[in-house]
Structure 1
Amino acid sequence: MRVTVSGLPGSGTTSLARYLAAEHKLELISAGEVFRQMAKEKEMDLVEFGRLASEDPSIDRLIDERQKEIAGQMNDIIVEGRLSGWFIGEAELKIWLTASLECRVRRILARDVIENLDIAKKLTRQREECEAERYRTYYDIDICDLSPYHMVLNSERWGVEELGAIVDTAIRMIRT
């Protein structure tokens, strides 16, 4: 089974993907984790690294192509990333998580080292605008187009356990 989990920053994609990987014994590949690690290696925050990625398309393409290649070679995998639902065409289940900007920013503030809520909101907006422009330019993808996804779930309404229960049911139905 191949599952993708996508959503905007702070929507809970990594948390849900980790839950599903553990629950269903699936391998997990996370584009966000790779992107964060690459930023850290270059001693940049995510906005700075995003700007660099805007100037150097090879950064995004490297992450995206690697995910696609690995997913194509494995049968039991969760692929977590903003564009994984677009790139993993053979996925049996594609999930998009949504939450309000305020909710996502609070999560980002708790997760990342950012001074305050206003700065976190500004950085999140900048990051989202930068990513949306890169996706349009590199792949002709509108990140707001949810047509590739089988499920759109509100992670502000439900926590990881509740979202997991919903997706667990979908996975059981697909496997039968």
Structure 2
Amino acid sequence: MSAEMSGGERMVHITISGAPGSGTSTLVSKIRESTGWESLNGGEVFRAEATRRGLPVVEFSELCKTDLDVDRSLDTLLRDAMTRENGPQIIESRLSGWWAHELEIDCHRVWIATSDEERARRVQNREGGSFEERLAESSARQSADKERYRILYGIDLDDMTPYNLVVDANDLSADDVFTIVSAAIQGE
């Protein structure tokens, strides 16, 4: 299952989505290593823009809520990359599965599902801080982002309709998640 344009040019093969801390970046790295595919990471694009503006991610997320054009421009970049001739084969962002679904791109659309607590634990292990702080930050960011996507696009992040593979990663290692997704890729 991979998208091809009329001239045989390859488009995106797989989208990887999940809430911050769910393990999407780790999964993308593993897929890149095993396939040699190129990727575009929506979180990196988002964080780079926050840094360029001199804002912490939480504040930049708040800015995106009030200045919807900022978010739209970042999302347009991702959507354009999905259909660009010889673009990246892997697109990672919270809405990439939605975009592929809406653009009718025949590709794997993966959602990595994790609880608030599991995401907070993973972020705490990666970045430090107390579990309670990480849980509060994660919950606040997820809530703000859900509202922003609802306002911007009418998308409910809890709706799994666009995804053809949802992986409950709460009790799985990064390698376990990769094994499941890799099997789906190989079963094309």
TM-score by length of 2: 0.86
Provide the alpha-carbon RMSD of the alignment: 1.6
Query: What 5-or-longer segments of structure 2 have no aligned partner?
Result: 3-12
2:100 counterpart residue number = 88
User: CA 1:111 to 1:44, structure 2 compared with 1: closer, same or farther past 3 Å?
Assistant: farther
Pair 1:165 & 2:179 matched: yes
Tell whether the 8 Å contact from 1:21 to 1:77 is kept in structure 2 after alignment: no
TM-score norm. by structure 1 comes to 0.91
Q: Deviation digits for residues 70-94 of structure 1, max 9, x if unmatched?
A: 1101366111000000012304100
Identical aligned pairs, as a percentage? 31
CA drift of 1:68 comes to 1.1
Q: Does structure 1 residue 103 correspond to structure 2 residue 114? A: no
Give 3-state SS (helix, strand or coil) of 1:43's partner. coil
CA contact (8 A) 1:46 1:127 kept: no
Secondary structure of the corresponding residue to residue 109 of structure 1: helix
Partner SS, residue 88 of structure 1? helix
User: What number of residue pairs does the alignment pair up?
Assistant: 173
Contact 1:4 1:91 in 2 (8 A): no
Partners of 1:10 and 1:79 in 2: CA distance = 17
> Which blocks of at least 5 consecutive residues in structure 1 are unaligned?
none
Q: CA, structure 1 residues 35+75, in 2 after alignment: closer, same or farther (shift >3 Å)?
A: closer
Q: What do the CA deviations read for 1:87-113 (whole angstroms, capped 9, x no partner)?
A: 12304100000112111001122334x
Moved over 4 A (4+): none
After TM superposition, the structure 1 = structure 2 runs for residues 27-176 of structure 1, keeping only pairs within 5 Å, are 27-73=38-84, 74=86, 77-89=89-101, 90-112=105-127, 115-174=129-188
Per the TM alignment, residue 134 of structure 1 is displaced from its structure 2 partner at its CA by: 0.7
Distance 1:43-1:115 versus aligned 2 partners, 3 A rule = farther
